[in-house]
Amino acid sequence: MSLFLTSTPLSAFIPRSESNRVCLPIKKHKKWLDHCFTRRRLFLKPAFRTGTSCRQAIGCCLSMPLEGPTSSSQLQDSLQYSRAYWVSKSIIAWNIDPRGGSCFLCASKTASLSVTNAGIQGYDVRIELEVDNTGLPIDVKEKFPHIQDYRAFRVPCTSDIKSLLKCQLAVAVYNSDGKWSTVTGLQLPGVLDELFSYHGTLGAVFSKDAVSLYLWAPTAQEVHACIYKEPSGGDPVEVVSLQELNGVWSASGPRNWEGCYYVYEVFVYHPSTLQIEKCVVNDPYARGLSADGKRTLFVDLESNALKPEGWDNLADDKPVLHSFSDISIYELHVRDFSMFHYYSASDPTVSPDFRGNYLAFTSKDSACVNHLKKLSSAGITHVHLLPTFQFAGVSDAKDKWKNADMEMLESLPPDSDEQQAHITSIQNDDGYNWGYNPVLWGVPKGSYASNPNGLWRIIEFRKMVQALNFAGLRVVLDVVYNHLHGSGPFDESSVLDKIVPGYYLRLNTDGCIEHSTCVNNTASEHFMVERLILDDLLSWAVHYKIDGFRFDLMGHIMKHTMVKAKSMLHGLSKDINGIDGSAIYIYGEGWDFGEVAKNGRGINASQFNLCGTGIGSFNDRIRDALLGGSPFGPPLQQGFVTGLLLQPNDYNYGSKEVEECMLACSNDQIQVGMAANLRDFVLTNCDGREVKGSEVYTYDGAPVAYALSPVETVNYVSAHDNETLFDIVSLKTPMEISVDERCRLNHLATSIIALSQGIPFFHAGDEMLRSKSLDRDSYNSGDWFNRLDFSYNYNNWGVGLPPKEKNEKNWPLIKPRLADPSFKPQRKHILAAVENFLNVLQIRYSSPLFRLRTANAIQQRVRFHNTGPSWMPGVIVMSIEDGHQGVPGLSQLDPTHSYIVVAINVSPTTVSFASPTLLAKNFKLHPVQVMSSDEIVKKSTYEASTGCFLIPPRTTSVFVEPRNV
């Protein structure tokens, strides 16, 4: 590990009041979790991916608030709450009025506090606090906005605070007659940040002759490092006691520790058990692990033995990226990429040892790699990999996996429920999971390596990055800093909560862990949480030469963390760090919900808060308008692409007028999205008024646009969560239309994303009509429902009813569709879809006009022509104008084309559209479409004398005006 790295540092959809929130084991909350999974915006995946409960020794917040003497069990329960906040070294905040009584802070180094009718017993120290009637200071209110109205209590300046913080703590109010009235524990992040914020070295640091360990654990009473020769089993060869200085524990050992393994023993008070616990835990700054993260590997990532040939020069070999506006993203799961061939003898192009692993990306002539090369040649710039850090839910030891009986599954009917029953019976013991169960953020996942022990996962991950770069693709990592899989002192997946309990995880006002991300929310508003996130990003960027980061549930991270991350990454240079940080793009899910909604814990990284930062966020508005409703609304609700008004299904909207209004509003939302969802972009809306993008509204009244720059908008129509694009089109369109028509609608949707301003984002397989047999959440549905066939023979439609847990309520809609053989695409459909997708990418990259770099350029050059109350339903016509060299006005950007028109017709019939603005032009169908195999698009025409475009049904036609040569 380099010394540089270790020393450098929608509205809430689940409105739950703090008083109703509990911290029970997860398995007792299945009904609540199901509700949590039903989230409103984009692909908000369940973070709790396995059936394992998140174990706490004592259930927090199980009883009602306690005031005054009562039974002994209820008295002791009161210590399970932490309703007071030690916010600075001199102030404790508590939402209570002492009413003339006295308030005391009690501490016990041995965790012997108890509550009786006489008050708190078992303390070593008892300190009287003074009420401060001036209230909390401004800086405290800014750091803790959710408690800004709490009362302030002063801690005497003579108190030995650092020693107190290693104890069990409680505060109690006593009435004037000496009887206690209220008692609670304390939350400590505020005072820990003030006293122990640390900028120095952390983790294992290698010098010429020694290895040094540094662990931030200011509340720990004792820390040991247990050194092992082997990745599992046996006794430690050495146990080293670490020494503390200002909250950081350290020790040094010989250089020959390299290649050995270690764990920490941390003795610390844990509020979930009310005991001093010996927590056996990995290093949170681990850069290597044994299988299943049992032990941390001593590994120096700067060692030449870990570097593939040419690794140090990879920054010079990366694909050229002139501007973030040139980015287009392809989202892919490591295992999906190559596992189809494990089950298919028809295309054994991937070595058996590489299938499902990092090394599959190095198979130069495989069908899957060749497909990526086609995408790269057509214009895709980045591959976004679903989580590849160490996550729970899949054992790293492949010999422990249970495998599906593929031969039996293949024999079953397409609408059978037996497939899902078989898959779910082994789903927690197979090799499949999306990976949104973070255990350790900074180490590659072992199950994707040929050997999870030793150095293999590091070397093979680097080979994957190198291979993708050589194929013309930059690499984006999906990072999940908003939550952790484990918590408490006993959970094997718990790391951070064993080291500084109650600090890394965000707590509610009762002191219970927040679960709005579905489990164990982290708190980037705390200094050392933010520090860990930044250090982790730095390690991935420098040591693995990563080109971008996608932040899961980014809205649960503070804006200042994201801004610091961008600034830090962009400050990296090839000369010093071996990487051009200015080319690293970051984006994420900017949803605003849960306890962070409306800046409830500080200014969070939500869509509306991020404008002007250059950080991208997913644009769910264009997705919902194109497909209809939201992923969690009525399944048959249609949108612009899926037949709203023009080809209705059985969904009842109330009246045709309602449908007309919905389609008109969808048209406005899509046009704003095609203009990069810019807040200040001016267009004519369906009522005929000139409005800004922020003055166009969604169905629930929220502004559509929020971006100030095109690179702040990531447009998409599907992603790993929810149904695939082909599946949702098949579900929402009328049953009687043909598979040919559904395939065209699939392509039409992707073409709108591809030809919009902003960053286009595509789910792997959308270009191949990918199906998951209508599974709406395939995170744990195994290879069977997630298969990708890069030989273009199958799209995976009709492989049985999708898993019952998330899909059963829709089985009545799904079953007849799967049973109908006419729904299943044939090889010719898949081949046509691939060609059409490659063509539309080539069109995007044929002109810089599709990739304008500033909001001003988009406002000046982009126009929409089918607008106002007399608009033609189902048609969008967008023009992009260029200037001419030497002529005043617009500058010239495109040397080939002076004008481009994108004409979209989702209706089932040919339409004719004329615009006076587009009269007397020299428009011709784009050469790529002229040369395509799509005979329908070739029927598109333009008549200069009338300015009339003829657009075939369900088609996106692109017209260009060539410059005179």
- Provide the annotated active-site residues: 552, 589
Burial 786-805 (b: 16+ CB within 10 A, else e): bbbbbbbebbbbbbbbbbee
Q: Whole-angstrom Cα distance, residue 722 to residue 719?
A: 7
Phi then psi dihedrals of residue 819, to 5 deg = -75, -20
Supply the DSSP string of 523-554, one letter for each residue.
Answer: -TTSHHHHHHHHHHHHHHHHHH---EEEETTG
Element (H, E) at 564: helix 559-570
Using alpha carbons, select from 622, 621, 624, 655 the residue that is nearest to residue 639: 624
Using alpha carbons, select from 470, 89, 502, 433 the residue that is nearest to residue 274: 502
635 contact partners, CB below 8 Å, separation of at least 6? 731, 732, 810, 813
Q: Whole-angstrom Cα distance, residue 962 to residue 939?
A: 20
Locate tokens 């990708």: which residue? Answer: 788
Element (H, E) at 699: none
Whole-Å CA distances, 383 to 62, 357, 372, 465, 620: 45, 16, 9, 10, 20
CB-neighbour burial class of residue 292 (10 A; exposed 0-12, middle 13-18, buried 19+) = buried
Q: Whole-angstrom Cα distance, residue 759 to residue 616?
A: 8
Torsion sign over Cα 617, 621, 622, 623: positive
828 contact partners, CB below 8 Å, separation of at least 6? none
Say which DSSP state 522 is in. Answer: B
Q: Whole-angstrom Cα distance, residue 719 to residue 618?
A: 10
Say which DSSP state 801 is in. Answer: S
Please state the length of the chain: 965
Element (H, E) at 767: none
Helices 527-544 & 559-570 angle (0-180, nearest 10): 30
779 contact partners, CB below 8 Å, separation of at least 6? 45, 46, 49, 433, 434, 436, 720, 721
Whole-Å CA distances, 115 to 9, 76, 120, 501, 867: 42, 6, 5, 22, 70
For residue 446, the Cα-to-chain-centroid distance in whole angstroms is 21
Locate tokens 């596992």: which residue? Answer: 339
Spell out the SS3 assignment of 358-391: HHHHHCCCCHHHHHHHHHHHHCCCEEEECCCEEE
Locate tokens 């072992």: which residue? Answer: 446
Helices 827-844 & 367-378 angle (0-180, nearest 10): 30
Given a contact cutoff of 8 angstroms between Cβ atoms, the answer to whether 418 and 455 are in contact is: no
Supply the DSSP string of 150-213, one letter for each residue.
Answer: SEEEEPPTTS-HHHHTTSEEEEEEE-TTS-EEEEE-EE-HHHHHHHH---S--EEEE-SSEEEE
Q: Do the strands 474-479 and 616-619 form a parallel or antiparallel pair, or are they unpaired? A: unpaired
Phi then psi dihedrals of residue 722, to 5 deg = 65, 180
Say which DSSP state 489 is in. Answer: T
Return the amino acid letter for 224: H
Q: How many CB atoms lie within 10 A of CB 254?
A: 10
